[in-house]
Structure 1
Amino acid sequence: MNICFYDNREITPDENGNVSIDRVYCLEFHDFKDVTWQHLGEVYRSLPQYIVKDNACPMWYGEEEGSAVYLYASVEPSGLQIVGDLSAEQWEMWERMFHRQLSRYDFPSFEC
């Protein structure tokens, strides 16, 4: 399953090979059921460097305020927003795994 996405800013490596991510996956959260939310949680937990924190956005690698390298997901009206700063290599690996894990389930989505 391919889920449409768009970038709020171009993902281009800087001189050190790092990228800033601001991507939105067009998931239709209004159509999610309890089991769909559970599946999304399974996707989150299966990704590299997942950080477990109660009452926090799903995050990987580090926290935005306390780490030079971080990634987090936020449920927004526009879809699932993924924001962070990583090395281009970390982002490419994480994104490949994210797409692979998303394809395991039938998530409601829309064209963006």
Structure 2
Amino acid sequence: MNIYFYDNNEIQPNEMNSVFIDRVYCLDFHKFTELTWEHLGQVYLSLPNYISKENQLPMWFGEEDISPVYLYASVEPSGLQIIGELTLEQWKSWEHIFHEKLSDSPFPFFPC
């Protein structure tokens, strides 16, 4: 299964080995069913360092403007936007697991 995404900025580690992430996964939300949305929620829960907060965007590691490292997901017209700042190692590990979860399920993508 192809996972389509693009980055809004180059992922380049700084002198502290931190990276800023602004990635969009080209999920076709128009084709999502109730079951697909539920499955995406289960994927969120299964990812490392998930933080559960009622009425908040899905987030991992910490909260923006509060924690030194954070990652969150937002449903946008362009797809699923992942934004955060964390170490390169944390990102690579999280991203690898996320890609595995996306590949294991028939989420609808569009080429971007």
TM-score normalised to the size of structure 1?
A: 0.98
Task: Report percent identity of matched pairs.
Answer: 64
Aligned to 1:25: 25
Q: Which amino acid aligns with 2:11?
A: I
- Give the aligned CA root-mean-square deviation in angstroms: 0.6
C-alpha distance in 2, partners of 1:76/1:100?
Answer: 22
Measured against aligned partners, the alpha-carbon deviations of 1:61-106 in whole angstroms (never above 9, x if no partner) come to 0000211100000000000000000000000000000000111110
Offset from partner CA, 1:13-35 (integer Å, 9 cap, x none): 00111100000000000110000
Q: Which residue of 2 aligns with 1:8?
A: 8
Map of 1:107 onto structure 2? 107
Matched pairs, number: 112
Unaligned runs of 5+ in 2: none
Q: Quick one: which amino acid aligns to residue 33 of structure 1?
A: T
2:34 matched residue in structure 1: 34
Q: CA deviation at 1:3?
A: 1.4
Match of 1:72 in 2: 72
- Give the match for residue 51 of structure 1: 51
Instruction: Report the AA paired with residue 23 of structure 1.
Output: R
Question: How far 1:2 moved relative to its partner?
Answer: 2.3
Counterpart for residue 85 of structure 2: 85
What is the CA–CA distance in structure 1 between the aligned matches of 2:33 and 2:3, rounded to whole Å? 18
Counterpart CA distance in 1 for 2:51 and 2:104 is 22
TM-score (norm 2): 0.98
Give SS of 1:91's match: helix
Please tell me the residue identity of whatever aligns with 1:39: H
Amino acid aligned to 2:94: W
2:62 is paired with a residue whose SS is: coil
